[in-house]
Amino acid sequence: MAEEQEQLLLTQKERDRLKVLHEVRQGHLTQRAAAEQLGISERWVREMVRRVRKRGDRAVVHGLRGNPSQRRLKARLRERAVALYRRE
């Protein structure tokens, strides 16, 4: 049975972060050096490495990406507001 692979779209910042985290995992870069490179704390580097181990490359992507905002207006209210705006 063929394994389906989901395509993961990353921003440039996420790709850079992932590359540095992989370097840390392989032992080519220290956590301190990675923290300095990424502008984050050593503790956050350790957490990110742990997440990459657990979830793979998806760990660098925000968990709510792709989901609609919980603060969005209901479609009906939004349509009414746009209609009122266009009328003026």
Question: What is the per-residue pLDDT across 1-40, written as a single tens digit (0 to 9) for each?
Answer: 455 566 778 889 999 999 999 999 999 999 999 999 999 9
The alpha carbon of residue 40 and the mean position of all alpha carbons in its chain are separated, in whole angstroms, by: 15
Q: What percent of the chain has pLDDT over 70?
A: 93
Mean pLDDT confidence for 42-65: 93
Q: What is the pTM (predicted TM-score) of this model?
A: 0.69
> Contact 49/26 with Cβ under 8 angstroms?
no
